[in-house]
Amino acid sequence: MNSNVDSADHAVQNSDSMVRFRVENIRKEFTNVVALDNVSLELRTGEVVGLVGENGAGKSTLLNILSGIYQQDQGHIYVDGDRVSITNPRMASHQGVAIVHQEHNVIPNLSGYENLFLEQFPDYSTAGVLDSDTLKREGAEILSSLGIDLDLEKRVANYSFSDRQMLSIAKAFTETVHTDHPIILLDEPTAGLEEDGRDLLFDRIEDLRDQASFVFVSHELDEVLEISDRIYVLRDGKIVNHFEQENATEDKLQQSMVGREVSEEYYQASDQRDVENSEVALTVSNLGNEGHFEDVSFDVREGEIFGICGVMGSGKSALGRVLSGVDAADTGELAIDGTAVETGSVHRMVNQGIGYVPKERQSEGTLLYQPLRVNVSLPSIGTDLVADRVPGLGTVPWLIDFEKEDEMAEDIVERLNVKTPSIESPLINLSGGNQQKVVLGKNLQREVSVLVMDNVTRGIDVGAKEEVYRILRQLADDGVSMVFIADELPELIGMSNRIGVMHEGELVDVVDSPPGDKPMESELIRKMI
Amino acid sequence: MSEETSGNPVVDWLGEYRKNRSVTDLLVDLGPFLMLLILIAVFTATSEVFLTYDNLVGNVMMNSMILLFVALAGTFPILQQSIDLSVESIVSLSGVITAILINDYQLGMLALLLGILAGTGVGVLNGVVFAKGKIPSFLVTLGSLSIFSGSALLMTGGYSVPFNAPGIRQIAIGNTIPQVPNLVVWGLVVYVLVSLMAWKTTFGRYTYALGENERVADFSGVNVDRYKIGAFVVSGTLCGLAGVLLTARISSATPGMGSGLLLQSIAAIVMGGTALTGGVGGPHRTILGVLVIGVLTNGMNLLGIQSFVQEIILGFVVILAVAMSMDRDKIDIVK
């Protein structure tokens, strides 16, 4: 541990406010991986404590231990100075600890009040019959005490994303209603929230400080800085730093998360290729997909990164799905190097040299329980790249040459700097950033001339993002054309040569984004809305 | 990447294994082995005849082979997270077709080939309706189960079709290799080929990928429909082979000759370690489940256990073996 933490400990001992919750020297090991090592932190009454760290740093593991989903191998948890054991989620809520998961622990086909009291149904039933009136009444009371406004009679399926989150927060308070000052763990609470929802959330947290203490986990450092009184930084399973709000800056947090200074030129824009004189690789003419977008035309040159931005529902993701072959176009044409390509079939598109990095890494990009090797080679199986040779028959595409396959996997691990115990490790054992590198890597084996990416850095940490950017710059140098769909504008602006702006299903503008003269975010936002 | 090697391949392999697999994985990998060893130990202790060459090859192996074909067949759809419920009706249908072609049309050996192809054909039907029609395989094959067995009944009028063709009978029970019945040779050859197919070919690899996450395979450019149909074609073909060899063995076919094989084959597949949720296991493991059932049935026969009681015991052992071989870590919710 470094001196920063020691001095912080001192400060805490001298502080007047009560320590509500404390964990000491927590250690957790999974198969051959130390996920948490000697982690200590504390939470005072009414405090909001930020917890930041890269993917795989141990944030989720820690939250899972505190909320009773995992058990620590070593270390102790204290509530109000008393040592407690939290061996399951019920025990956690009994001790006043509740978690609000990123994916909101609500059941869509039940109503709001049923969700709110789900765990307490037995207490509200007579002979197995649920006393709905009491639930509704008490639910309304809880909501009003929290200052949250929701229609509890509606089915949760009809709730907006932001409402679901508010319900989850109310549920956390309901579960711990017997304690007067619960400890609420918020796991990536702002992920997927629009700006209004975020503001509402922050208002609620501020207001509820006198009723609860919060642990706030997020990738969005500016948000952590805004809301937290103190911030802990996790790296490789250890608390490496600890900041009071007034001493913390985004740069300092990033540095201690990554363990080094984040390169000044994050997006490596100076490496951006000049594609003025390159050949056109991808031609999109009058492309349309009914209900999503229409009459979209643009072209992408060799080695060019063509960014696409737009608000949700602008048609940008739908465009990505058509460009990659997942959906078929109703109108218009798509051509690679002048040859028309039929849309609506990914395998046909792959054979024409298109690679696709889908938006949902876990459900669309990775075979989580298969080894890294199998994931990397998946698009190449059945091609000469991994075809075995049989004496007398020559190359047989339907037989796999395991040696070639191993080499391919080793090559990706080395080129993209994937951190993995071995190429035989199932991807589930890798962190999100490393999984994403595999998803990128598997697209690089075949002759890919166009790479379509939908939010390629989504949910991965600063260090991994920087590496992904470096890889993309390399690909551009190799002449790969890229369609770069992204929600994060700084990234989009930093990476793209040109940016297409989608608005209500139309490509309303294409903005140049040369190095040294990048467009302003505000300029793009104006066009997007 | 770590490149240290100890020079000893076994040590290296174990090291690699430990790095990637947990203790539960080890249990899953060894579960059916342990079950088999326990059964062998029990029957060796209780029966003098059990551990003799004649019993092990002539009875256990010989009587397990048809189940082996059917269980290998069913492994492919299950690996893809689909299921083929029509396996036993394909056995009956191809058996009946073979017998009729031999008996009524004097096609001889050609009838065997046509019988297998009949299995292939109905497999194509299953696969196309399932993959192209986007109808769950459970329902497609539940329907075709009825269609195929109804057809077998219709072709035979419900009667058995015996034939007199000693040459054909020899294909199953002859001893081309001394002391080893041909049926056992067929079984082992097919077992090796099918295991290689799952391990070494494009089709095999895609089968695992489809079983774990079809969308990922699709987005990676795999021609998903082709390989989904393929699994049912393989299944149909192997069931056709099972029907043909069973017919050859008993020189007769009945429209109900496959009955009971569906449940036993699913039990064998799952016991072997192929999860109904797809993506893990494989035909190379299915043989373990088949042998557990084969050894258990044989042992109980030797001990003179009444056949009704045998069924009850078999049920218990299946549940126990599945409990031992299932990796619950990867399954959050069991329904």
Q: Which of B285, B326, B321 is nearest to B36 (CA)?
A: B321
Query: CB A378 to CB B215 under 8 A?
Result: no
Please give the Cα distance from B90 to B119 (Å, whole number): 6
Q: Tell me the chain A residues in contact with residue B80 when contact means C-beta distances shorter than 8 Å.
A: none
Among A350, A369, A397, select the one facing B279 at the smallest CB separation. Answer: A369
Tell whether the model's pLDDT for residue A53 goes beyond 90.
no
Using 50, 70 and 90 to split pLDDT, how confident is the model at A13? Answer: very low
pLDDT in tens, A339-359: 888 888 888 888 888 888 988
Distances (CA, A) of A343 to A287, A442, A502, B242: 10, 21, 20, 42
Query: CB B19 to CB A378 under 8 A?
Result: no
Using 50, 70 and 90 to split pLDDT, how confident is the model at A7? Answer: very low
Pairing of strands A339-340, A506-512: unpaired
Distances (CA, A) of A104 to A159, A172, A205, A460, B334: 12, 11, 17, 20, 22
Among A349, A365, A421, select the one facing B19 at the smallest CB separation. Answer: A421
Please give the Cα distance from B331 to B328 (Å, whole number): 5
- pLDDT score, position A5: 44
Query: CB A369 to CB B212 under 8 A?
Result: yes
Please give the Cα distance from B218 to A347 (Å, whole number): 7
End-to-end CA distance of chain A: 48
Helices (H) and strands (E) in chain A, counts: 17, 24
Q: Which residues of B286-322 are buried (b: 16+ CB within 10 A; e: fewer)?
A: bbbbbbbbbbbbbbbebeeeeeeebeeebeebbeebb
Chain pair A-B, CB pairs under 8 angstroms = 99
CA angle, A463 then A464 then A465, to 5°? 90
Q: Tell me the chain A residues in contact with residue B207 when contact means C-beta distances shorter than 8 Å.
A: none
pLDDT in tens, B106-163: 898 999 999 999 999 999 999 999 999 999 999 999 999 999 999 999 999 999 999 9
Please give the Cα distance from A152 to A166 (Å, whole number): 11
B210 min Cα distance to partner chain A (Å): 9
Residue B202 in contact with partner chain A when CB distance is under 8 A: yes
A267 min Cα distance to partner chain B (Å): 27
Q: Tell me the chain A residues in contact with residue B217 when contact means C-beta distances shorter than 8 Å.
A: 367, 378
Q: Tell me the chain B residues in contact with residue A421 when contact means C-beta distances shorter than 8 Å.
A: 2, 19-20
pLDDT in tens, A110-130: 999 999 998 888 888 888 888
Tell whether the model's pLDDT for residue A1 goes beyond 60.
no
End-to-end CA distance of chain B: 40
- pLDDT score, position B255: 95
- A80, with CB counted inside 10 A (0-12, 13-18, 19+), is middle
Average pLDDT, chain A: 86
Tell whether the model's pLDDT for residue A217 goes beyond 70.
yes
CA angle, A183 then A185 then A190, to 5°? 135
> What's the one-letter identity of residue B136?
P
Residue B196 half-sphere exposure, CB side, CA atoms within 13 Å?
Answer: 9
- pLDDT score, position B32: 81
Residue B216 in contact with partner chain A when CB distance is under 8 A: yes
B298 min Cα distance to partner chain A (Å): 37
Hey, of A398, A405, A414, A451, which one would you mutate to test binding to chain B, going by the most B CBs within 10 A of its CB?
A398
Higher pLDDT, A529 or A2: A529
Which DSSP helix (H) or strand (E) runs through A378? none
Q: Tell me the chain A residues in contact with residue B1 when contact means C-beta distances shorter than 8 Å.
A: 410, 413-414, 422-423
Q: Are the CB atoms for B145 and B89 separated by under 8 Å?
A: yes
Residue A503 half-sphere exposure, CB side, CA atoms within 13 Å?
Answer: 11
pLDDT tens for the 335 residues of chain B, in order: 444 556 677 776 666 666 666 666 676 677 788 889 999 999 999 999 999 999 999 999 999 999 999 999 999 999 999 999 999 999 999 999 999 999 999 898 999 999 999 999 999 999 999 999 999 999 999 999 999 999 999 999 999 999 988 889 999 998 889 889 999 999 999 999 999 999 999 999 999 999 999 999 998 889 999 999 999 999 999 999 999 999 999 999 999 999 989 989 999 998 888 888 888 889 999 999 999 999 999 999 999 999 899 989 888 887 877 776 665 545 555 55
Please give the Cα distance from A282 to A334 (Å, whole number): 7
Give pTM, 2 decimals. 0.77
Q: Tell me the chain B residues in contact with residue A356 when contact means C-beta distances shorter than 8 Å.
A: 219
CA angle, A214 then A102 then A35, to 5°? 80
Q: Are the CB atoms for A300 and A306 separated by under 8 Å?
A: yes
| Residue A231 main-chain phi, psi, to 5 deg | -135, 130
- pLDDT score, position A312: 76
Dihedral sign for Cα A502, A503, A507, A509, please.
negative
Hey, of A422, A448, A452, which one would you mutate to test binding to chain B, going by the most B CBs within 10 A of its CB?
A422
Residue A350 half-sphere exposure, CB side, CA atoms within 13 Å?
Answer: 24
Q: Are the CB atoms for A340 and A439 separated by under 8 Å?
A: no
Mean pLDDT of A35-54: 91
Residue B104 in contact with partner chain A when CB distance is under 8 A: no
Using 50, 70 and 90 to split pLDDT, how confident is the model at A255? Answer: confident
Query: CB B209 to CB A32 under 8 A?
Result: no
- A177, with CB counted inside 10 A (0-12, 13-18, 19+), is middle
Please give the Cα distance from B42 to B34 (Å, whole number): 12
Residues 6+ apart with CB under 8 A from A527: A501, A503, A508, A509, A511
ipTM of the shown complex: 0.85
Query: CB A381 to CB B208 under 8 A?
Result: no
Query: CB A374 to CB B280 under 8 A?
Result: no
